[in-house]
Structure 1
């Protein structure tokens, strides 16, 4: 090769890299709305979100009804307390911000999705309901988080029907003349992609694809493993094991036809925890007896938010190890082992995404970052992403200090004749069901009673005036 050819080749390569790095500009942030019910330093409301650290914010979750309509899962929080409205009001602070509503999630599974997409009438109703919901509540897009087509109670026909559904959604959204975003969260590995998706259809109809490149290992493996390693470990010897890392996932999706600029690389703001069988054996691939202890805020065995992890480190006694092979950290103390991401590993993943010209980065999720700055600067994970993308980092917004539940405005009704639970103004809990509570407002000689119900398995805490975990409430 002549010197001139070599020089031209180097210039072309440099231009490609520059173009690739410039293309990586999205920062997509999921928000778990149920975190408003967490305790202490884990309690997270919409007002804790810094709207300048993300380009796209996704509110999770709504569900799907059997007729294809949207199911609001926690109407008291979402509507009565205005969480969705307040979420979309964040655009007043950052006019460039785009907000999306996500449907599905792990708990939704596949059964209802499969029923709806298997019927043209129900699918049409689903698309219309999604569009109406965005218009009514002020969202800029709709995120399909079906976990997963043709799996977890789904049918083999889901794969084709998912593409059919995307085509219909795209048509409905485009007919409005407004650029509503259509996105999807998808499973990480190539094997999962082959089971659930026709990748070229996703590439054609979606604005971008959020790749859930985490949960590659957990206590269910029987051995310790990193939640989201960039590369395989020394103990990952089989083809199946080598598939469970970020690099393999990204390469698999690109090989199946997804355009790099549409692939948004997901990163977990949490870690997977394990209970070691033998404390002396604390390396990657060590045998485990069970999931690790639950964190004080997320309260789920087998996982901890990054905010919980950094607080554990602050408390002392943990040994931190940088996994050079997989480019992520892990830590251990006694029989507890945690594999997670920290700002250093997040920066490396951002650089990896930039090197391939991917469309951006995604995090699950904002409420498990160190949003109070207990371990140092507020939101270190989100700030590291912005820094790695050479974006300016604005000041954190002020958050109201009150933790009390905002009082709803009950609608006037006729004086009740029987059945009222109210004896004084304010909140009261149902005497027979701790998940049910009332807000009582005096109106002359009688009370106007508004009834609410806590989401999921939560119960109403009369001391804190919030829905709380049963173990923390005197019921």
Structure 2
């Protein structure tokens, strides 16, 4: 460290430089309480007129309507073979080849001429081709580098506030210039996260998560990301347990992923966001311990797109909302995934579903393409995946590797646009080519689905897919362009549905007491209060405590300290909400230990329980505690009713047609130690009833005709079971 350099003071100076010349702006993030998380890539900015944009440099942070987004994910940073993080612009473009690896590299690409990293993250720049000297003739430049924290570092420079290094020229943030992504977003009340991985940079995730040394390097680099100002970490490991580009998965990936989430949470602290992108295939989700993930993570970002494409054997939808007759594989749609996650007991407010601001085109073997038509595959050399057998349409969408942005799709002619009433998404046909995409009506339906099912919100891939500049461009330095009037029809559609015509909402203000103290096992209470500028009614909740609303804008929080032999620190998290916006604060509790060691309770549960579709299952459990402590039972699914010998877990089985299983995780605690066990609930499938020619039936549905029960072998409507075809006699197992 340079002698005499005060980093705290320096941080303030750098902030002042970033904010200079920028008008003060009121919070402009969405007024509703749903998540709208947009991925912003560092490579999209290179695209110009051939890809549907007006100019190169249009697709940057300066052309994102931040009134429409609550979180932006800067994508991507990659994981190198030693576990360290590197700029996505430094990824090994041959990583698809056997035995290829990713070498370590700088966190931000050091060349400002060949990368957008600094332009997007730091904003409008001015360059210094060499480090200035402390002489009168160079005094102005010397003052700038000192104020912004740049020092010499070998043949290049070091930015001391962040630890970022680079080569010349020095990328100075221009005083009064356009701000970078993080600063601009924070002015607008929008959070920015660092997204790590992605399809082409996930190869080294499994080995990093399994190796303590490599994971230590990974976690150390998170400090650099936090120093850059990011509000959290988003993990895009594609995919634990299954593998991805040039690597295979293994069963240990799931537990390693869960441990990695806990390690990241510990590293970044409780006030930063932690999310991850997950596959929409339930087969790739079964291996996770969802209660464990829910304890450490804020949101689960489900990639409900890329469900069909050039790899498919028949032409299907990129992002279907519901099942449809022509689908190649069952269960690859948003509705099926939501129902699966509900059965698993995954908190709905943590679930964000994908909104595709792009489409996928394929060529078929038919003269006129249609849903379900056989695809026509050949070897294609993709820019990312390399040589691959694919039916991707490169005749119409070559610049996009068959995945055109919505704004480019809307500029094309000659396509017959159609609507699939089953999947509730559009598609288009031109000769042998079929394009699956989302438009304003389908995006509105998905947004309404999220509202109706009380889900967290959406993730958008990616924010520049729907933008259109309807004004003129202002040059912001050598590379950035800022549009004076921007249109984002798909993002605007999401906002309309989520806002529901409501007026802008002010977040409530929460007041909590300072640090509390309690003895081992002691119950203490304290008062919290809230105010709201809109005079909305307020409600209070707490984690690690109970809350009673006093009806006067305050609430009484009651906390029971754990039975602990040693001193420890606990946290009570209190949240106040006006129904649309939440505010959360932590109250630290210092718990004084009793000096007496505690024995963990021992839980006893049945291995399996069987229940009919839609009926209640009662799981009787019990526990023994050598210390005779008071015990509390919890369940991942259902409700808990205390009994004389333990507790009954009451679980309402989902209404299903074919037999399935639901894992119910039961936990008992004495306030200090816990014991958990999993009960497998076998849910018997229901018989649909008398066959109706006007009803759509899916695989596994059962009907009765003339006293005989039949089971559907695949999707059917109007086919009489007595005449076979899609039906077969049901045989009870």
Q: 2:178 aligned with 1:90, yes or no?
A: no
Find the aligned partners of 1:80 and 1:341 in 2 and give their Cα distance: 30
Could you tell me which residue of structure 2 aligns to residue 450 of structure 1? none
Find the aligned partners of 2:183 and 2:81 in 1 and give their Cα distance: 31
**Rg bigger for which structure?**
2
User: CA, structure 1 residues 269+235, in 2 after alignment: closer, same or farther (shift >3 Å)?
Assistant: same
Q: 2:301 aligned with 1:301, yes or no?
A: no
Could you tell me which residue of structure 1 aligns to residue 302 of structure 2? 211
Measured after TM superposition, the shift of residue 223 of structure 1 is 1.5
Q: Deviations over 1:380-421 (max 9, x none)?
A: 010000001117899xxxxxxxxxxxxxxxxxxxxxxxxxxx
Could you tell me which residue of structure 2 aligns to residue 248 of structure 1? 336
Retained in 1: the 8 A contact 2:79–2:202?
A: no
* Aligned counterpart for 1:139 among listed residues 221, 230, 235: 230
Select between 248-257 and 357-366 the one with higher mean Cα deviation: 248-257
Could you tell me which residue of structure 1 aligns to residue 260 of structure 2? 165
Q: Deviations over 1:252-275 (max 9, x none)?
A: 223223210000111111111011
Retained in 2: the 8 A contact 1:60–1:101?
A: yes
Q: Deviations over 1:278-323 (max 9, x none)?
A: 223x321012212213666x723332111121111xxx32111111
Could you tell me which residue of structure 1 aligns to residue 698 of structure 2? none
Measured after TM superposition, the shift of residue 242 of structure 1 is 2.1
Retained in 1: the 8 A contact 2:45–2:60?
A: yes
Q: Deviations over 1:411-447 (max 9, x none)?
A: xxxxxxxxxxxxxxxxxxxxxxxxxxxxxxxxxxxxx
More strand per residue: 2
Could you tell me which residue of structure 2 aligns to residue 368 of structure 1? 465
Structure 1: unaligned runs, 5 residues or longer: 1-21, 395-475
Retained in 2: the 8 A contact 1:68–1:129?
A: no
Could you tell me which residue of structure 1 aligns to residue 443 of structure 2? 346
Measured after TM superposition, the shift of residue 120 of structure 1 is 2.2
Could you tell me which residue of structure 2 aligns to residue 155 of structure 1? 250
Could you tell me which residue of structure 2 aligns to residue 104 of structure 1? 197
Find the aligned partners of 2:467 and 2:217 in 1 and give their Cα distance: 40
Measured after TM superposition, the shift of residue 326 of structure 1 is 0.7
Find the aligned partners of 1:32 and 1:228 in 2 and give their Cα distance: 21
* Aligned counterpart for 2:488 among listed residues 379, 387, 405: 379
Find the aligned partners of 1:181 and 1:295 in 2 and give their Cα distance: 40
Could you tell me which residue of structure 2 aligns to residue 35 of structure 1? 44
Find the aligned partners of 1:294 and 1:88 in 2 and give their Cα distance: 38
Find the aligned partners of 1:160 and 1:134 in 2 and give their Cα distance: 25
Retained in 1: the 8 A contact 2:79–2:197?
A: yes
Secondary structure, in 3 states, of the residue corresponding to 2:325?
coil
Could you tell me which residue of structure 1 aligns to residue 393 of structure 2? 292
User: CA, structure 1 residues 265+166, in 2 after alignment: closer, same or farther (shift >3 Å)?
Assistant: same
Retained in 2: the 8 A contact 1:242–1:248?
A: no
Comparing both chains, which one has the higher relative contact order based on Cα–Cα distances under 8 Å and sequence gaps of 6 or more? 1
Find the aligned partners of 1:265 and 1:25 in 2 and give their Cα distance: 11
Could you tell me which residue of structure 1 aligns to residue 84 of structure 2? 69
Find the aligned partners of 1:393 and 1:365 in 2 and give their Cα distance: 26
TM-score normalised per structure 2: 0.46
Find the aligned partners of 1:59 and 1:357 in 2 and give their Cα distance: 27
Measured after TM superposition, the shift of residue 361 of structure 1 is 1.1
Retained in 2: the 8 A contact 1:99–1:141?
A: yes
More helix per residue: 1
Measured after TM superposition, the shift of residue 204 of structure 1 is 1.3
Secondary structure, in 3 states, of the residue corresponding to 1:233?
coil
Retained in 1: the 8 A contact 2:265–2:296?
A: yes
Find the aligned partners of 1:251 and 1:124 in 2 and give their Cα distance: 37
Measured after TM superposition, the shift of residue 377 of structure 1 is 7.5
Measured after TM superposition, the shift of residue 72 of structure 1 is 1.7
Measured after TM superposition, the shift of residue 364 of structure 1 is 0.5
Q: Deviations over 1:35-94 (max 9, x none)?
A: 111122434122111222100000000011233222123313567743222111222540
Retained in 2: the 8 A contact 1:189–1:249?
A: yes
Select between 178-187 and 319-328 the one with higher mean Cα deviation: 178-187
Measured after TM superposition, the shift of residue 235 of structure 1 is 2.4
User: CA, structure 1 residues 268+358, in 2 after alignment: closer, same or farther (shift >3 Å)?
Assistant: same
Could you tell me which residue of structure 1 aligns to residue 321 of structure 2? 230
Retained in 1: the 8 A contact 2:32–2:499?
A: no
User: CA, structure 1 residues 81+173, in 2 after alignment: closer, same or farther (shift >3 Å)?
Assistant: closer
Find the aligned partners of 1:102 and 1:295 in 2 and give their Cα distance: 31
Q: Deviations over 1:208-249 (max 9, x none)?
A: 111100111112212110101111111248xxx221111111
Retained in 2: the 8 A contact 1:293–1:336?
A: no
Secondary structure, in 3 states, of the residue corresponding to 1:288?
coil
Could you tell me which residue of structure 2 aligns to residue 464 of structure 1? none
User: CA, structure 1 residues 295+35, in 2 after alignment: closer, same or farther (shift >3 Å)?
Assistant: farther
Find the aligned partners of 2:117 and 2:315 in 1 and give their Cα distance: 43
Retained in 2: the 8 A contact 1:23–1:357?
A: no
Measured after TM superposition, the shift of residue 26 of structure 1 is 0.8
Q: How many residue pairs align between the two structures?
A: 357
